[in-house]
Structure 1
């Protein structure tokens, strides 16, 4: 499923789209609390353009970021979009005046969010829409059938190219796949939180991508000390080690680290290219 590219990790066949396994998550381009415009508008435009210039073909966003701010920055920076670029967005939440993330998952909510994403990104068809479930604490039990049926209907209407799921349980993933083909799963996963190991392996066997978020989230101080020790030995940052480990964990893992600065973007790319030995991997695996 992978081929060589100048970016670490090569590429992945995401449904009918080929994307670089090293992608870019655009959430940090909004203001504090992912609300309002960025403090450095020109810097936000620059990092988006540099991401594409570096060869990245997978950009992750959501209409809830800002709200709408990040989508509008992407449009300003990159429109008309290169044919090779896949923009993935998410539905399932709104923003309130206090910066909260109230769920919005009725069929009417989802249709509105899809149309809002179409308008703010300036397209007639969204490349990929992820149905986000659960809450800030993680996945939560509950039916996903109605939501997936709504996205499948919008897909049949030609408004959505491909469908994924985010922040889901194994049961919700299985249900989603019964309703419509799923090309990716976007859940929290990292060296310290490896609860999705069985899901990743099953998805890899089926040719479906897994997109982890919070690559350095959920570490206890002890685990963080162990990661820092490996990083120090390799003369690298903890983030570089965490990203490189994810790329080596499985070929179907796609990275979307976020940043608002060009220098940090390039550091993340260089860090993900770090080569880990079998000894390094075994030591890192013990962190879980």
Structure 2
């Protein structure tokens, strides 16, 4: 039986199948009202891990989740990411891991999410222009101050993960990964060996899963959708995988969460494993 829970950092228990809030519209109007309903429905259905980021609307996504869910129910983890800022020459976004920028974005996230501590704070990307020790040192200092609980990374290689772990404990990694795209298989293996949570983004290949006849055929056999097959494959792939599929529609949300009940046999998984693109 596949476990439905995972302890991030060894002590923070969440339901493995979470929710990515990136696609929720935040502009005033009916679309925003729908976003609030989707976020609330996710929690009603038992989601305990919601992923957002400073970059998603430059804080607007964090504010939306706070409006929808604060005061947060016990056991709900809203994780956010920092390290991308509008600091290019013309105000365009760029990777920015300077300690002062990371600290300011964390302070903003605390205000927007209406919390005193972010239990899991992830570095959206490593900034190649800033020493890794400076970037992670800033987050380590914020953890020591009690403003964040655990530190995660996003879009890293095995070598980068190794170097980061020499500086600070890493609780999670968020890399692109799905049944059709397994470029980061080595990173997943490293996370599994270390008990680090692996949060795949682009969990269903942005709809490509349904375009593959093999996945569509298997979904039909199982009376499921291609999206559910792709999510069930992830849940069965490794116990450290915490998929965070996103949607702006309640129907899709309910479809995604139902994937937890879908059981793939060894034969099913073998058929899906043949579909991966070469790394």
Do the structures match in fold with TM over 0.5?
Answer: yes
Q: Match for 1:80 among 61, 68, 71?
A: 71
Aligned pairs for 1:248-263 (under 5 A) are: 248-263=236-251
C-alpha separation in 2, matches of 1:99 and 1:211? 30
C-alpha separation in 2, matches of 1:27 and 1:133? 16
C-alpha separation in 2, matches of 1:129 and 1:38? 30
Once the two structures are superposed, what CA deviation does each residue of 1:137-167 show, in whole Å capped at 9, x if it has no partner?
xxx8985332111111111111111100001
C-alpha separation in 2, matches of 1:236 and 1:26? 24
1:68 aligned residue: 59
2:6 aligned residue: 12
Aligned pairs for 1:176-215 (under 5 A) are: 176-215=164-203
User: Any stretches of 5+ residues in structure 1 without a counterpart?
Assistant: none
Distance 1:145-1:277 versus aligned 2 partners, 3 A rule: same
1:171 lines up with 2:159 in the alignment:
yes
Distance 1:71-1:178 versus aligned 2 partners, 3 A rule: same
Once the two structures are superposed, what CA deviation does each residue of 1:29-74 show, in whole Å capped at 9, x if it has no partner?
135xxxx557512211111111111111111111221122111111
Displacement of 1:103 in angstroms is 1.6
1:108 aligned residue: 100
Displacement of 1:229 in angstroms is 2.8
Displacement of 1:221 in angstroms is 9.3
Displacement of 1:231 in angstroms is 2.2
1:127 lines up with 2:119 in the alignment:
yes
Moved over 4 A (4+): 36-39, 95-100, 140-143, 218-223
Distance 1:248-1:57 versus aligned 2 partners, 3 A rule: same
Question: Does the CA contact (< 8 Å) of 2:204 and 2:245 recur in 1?
Answer: no
Displacement of 1:216 in angstroms is 2.5
1:23 lines up with 2:14 in the alignment:
no
The more displaced of 16-25 and 263-272 is: 263-272
Displacement of 1:81 in angstroms is 1.2
TM-score normalised by structure 1 residue count: 0.86
1:58 aligned residue: 49
Could you say what the CA RMSD is over the residues aligned between the two structures, in angstroms?
2.7
Matched residue SS, 1:29: coil
User: Any stretches of 5+ residues in structure 2 without a counterpart?
Assistant: none
C-alpha separation in 2, matches of 1:154 and 1:178? 18
Displacement of 1:185 in angstroms is 0.5
Matched residue SS, 2:85: coil
Question: Does the CA contact (< 8 Å) of 1:21 and 1:254 recur in 2?
Answer: yes
Distance 1:237-1:38 versus aligned 2 partners, 3 A rule: farther
Distance 1:99-1:24 versus aligned 2 partners, 3 A rule: farther
Question: Does the CA contact (< 8 Å) of 1:247 and 1:255 recur in 2?
Answer: yes
Question: Does the CA contact (< 8 Å) of 2:24 and 2:61 recur in 1?
Answer: yes
Question: Does the CA contact (< 8 Å) of 1:91 and 1:131 recur in 2?
Answer: yes
Matched residue SS, 1:115: helix
Matched residue SS, 2:160: helix
TM-score normalised by structure 2 residue count: 0.89
